Structure formats: structure tokens, C-alpha cells
Amino acid sequence: MTAFEKLLAIKSAKGAGYFVLLDPDKAHTEDLSAILEQSFDAQVDAFLIGGSLLMTPDFDDYIKTIKKYTRDCPVIIFPGGVNQVSAHADAILFLSLLSGRNSHHIIGTQVMAAPIIHKLKLEAISTAYLLVESGKATTAEFMSGTSPLPRHKTDIAVAHALAAAYMGFKLIYLEGGSGAEHSVPEEMIFAISQAVDVPLIVGGGIRTPEEAAKKVAAGASFVVTGNILESNNDPRLIKEFASAIHNS
Ligand code: 1GP
């Protein structure tokens, strides 16, 4: 079974899946075992690894360390750049920043990464990445040099999602940006989920299990949290997120 098939199976078995994002610059190798143990306990469905700004030089070792502990749970690269590729991962989200108008992030970096991914025989999951305005400028916005989709212009977001569906993307990632002031609005998630059959990943600025549950109720297939777990050591939090997402 491919990692993508596993994700689809999770969605149909649980209604929605919970992804934990580990940014190598924030979740250091020495802190990983606790968060990974709590994640298993909570039945987290996949780990996303990556960051918009990678300052840690040993990405490959980082993935290798995570893979030692993750048993059957997919480890999927969520790359912020071409330097975030590793044969040790189960798959990579092959992102195209469709919300922007910077061809480098739509097809440029993809062309640079594709031959490496091919050589490593890494599963590539084509993903339309849509940045959504979320208050203050986010790192993803700044680093990509693109404008996000206006948060109250649902029709523009739906048009982008339809284009992504017609272009054959397997997943759509609705992204508020790491540490976003406001997460992606439920009206936008709902409108997109009504317009396309492509599974929706929603992340950025989700701080409470209740907020995560609202994203699922609006139509998210997968919810991602990153920052909140890095800044909060309460071991019950991952469990509360997982149960809110799985039972919504
Ligand atoms: C960022 O969507 C992810 O790319 C997660 O965001 O760190 O704000 O949870 P947070």
C-alpha cells in the first residue's frame, strides 16, 4: 500500500486524519522521543516533516531518527525547499504553490527536485498548496514572495481549488501558515469541500482541539498542528486533538 493509499484508508475509516508537523528547526532530535510516544498513544495518523526555513543541516539524519520510532505511521516530507528530500521518508508532498503567481514555486523548484525524487524512488504525492491570508505575514508568505488568497474571498479560493482538481492534484493543502494569527476560515473549507472531491489538508494556527473539530465539520479531510505542540508540554494535548479530529 502506498502512503497516499494509507491516507485515503485513514480518511474513510476515521472520517478525518490527524497529522503532526515536526519542523527540524523547532523540534530537535533530543526532544523527539517524548512527542513521538505521545503521538502513538494518541493514534496520530501521519507525521509531516519540514519547514519554510531550514536552518538544520542534517535533514536526512533527522528523518532517519524519526523513522526509527514511527512503526507503521507514515512519515511524509512537507518540503520548504529542494534541500528537504530524503530517501528515508515514506513519501513527499510534491507541492505546487498554486495560490501565488511566482512560477519558481509553481514549477521551478519541482523540476529541480523531480530527478532526485525519482532516483531515490520516493513516493511523490502531488499537492496543490494554497496559502490563505491569516493576519500577520507568515514565514511561508515571506519566503515564497507571494500574496496569500484573501481570507474573505471564498469564491477566489474555490476557483483555485477547482483549477487544482482539473489539473489532477491528489491533495489540496489549505494553509494559514505556521503560527498563523487566524486559521483558515470554516466557510472557505466548506465551500471548497462542496466544490471538489480532492481531500483537503488544513493547517496553520490551529491551537485548540475545538478549533480542529470545526475544520473537520466544515469539510477538512486532514488537520495539521505544529507550533502548539512545540510550545505546550501537556502530554494530554495530542490525545485531545486526535480524538476531536477523529470523532467530528
Ligand atoms: C504549518 O500548517 C502547518 O505549515 C501547521 O501550522 O504550526 O501553526 O500548527 P502551525
Strand partners, 95: 127
Cβ contacts of residue 165 below 8 Å, gap of 6+? 172, 195, 196, 197, 198
Q: Could you give the CA distance from residue 169 to residue 180 in angstroms, rounded to a whole number?
A: 25
Q: Report whether 210 contacts 239 (CB < 8 A).
A: no
The residue ranges of the chain whose pLDDT is under 50 are none
Q: Could you give the CA distance from residue 42 to residue 3 in angstroms, rounded to a whole number?
A: 20
Model pLDDT, residue 28: 80
Model pLDDT, residue 51: 87
Distance 73 CA to ligand 1 centre (A): 19
Query: Which residue in 167, 80, 95, 92 sits closest to 129, CA to CA?
Result: 95
Residue 216 CB: number of other CB atoms within 10 A? 23
Closest ligand 1 atom to the C-alpha of 229? 9
Model pLDDT, residue 62: 94
Model pLDDT, residue 26: 85
Residue 196 CB: number of other CB atoms within 10 A? 20
Pocket test for ligand 1, best of 19, 20, 21 (most atoms within 8 A of CB): 21
From residue 194, give the alpha-carbon distance in Å to each of 161, 228, 245: 11, 29, 19
Ligand 1 pocket (Cβ < 6 Å) reads 21, 175, 178-180, 203-206, 224-228
Model pLDDT, residue 230: 82
Closest ligand 1 atom to the C-alpha of 183? 8
Distance 192 CA to ligand 1 centre (A): 20
Question: Which residue's alpha carbon is nearest to atom 5 within ligand 1?
Answer: 204
Model pLDDT, residue 207: 97
What single letter denotes the amino acid at residue 171?
Answer: L
Model pLDDT, residue 174: 98
Distance 131 CA to ligand 1 centre (A): 11
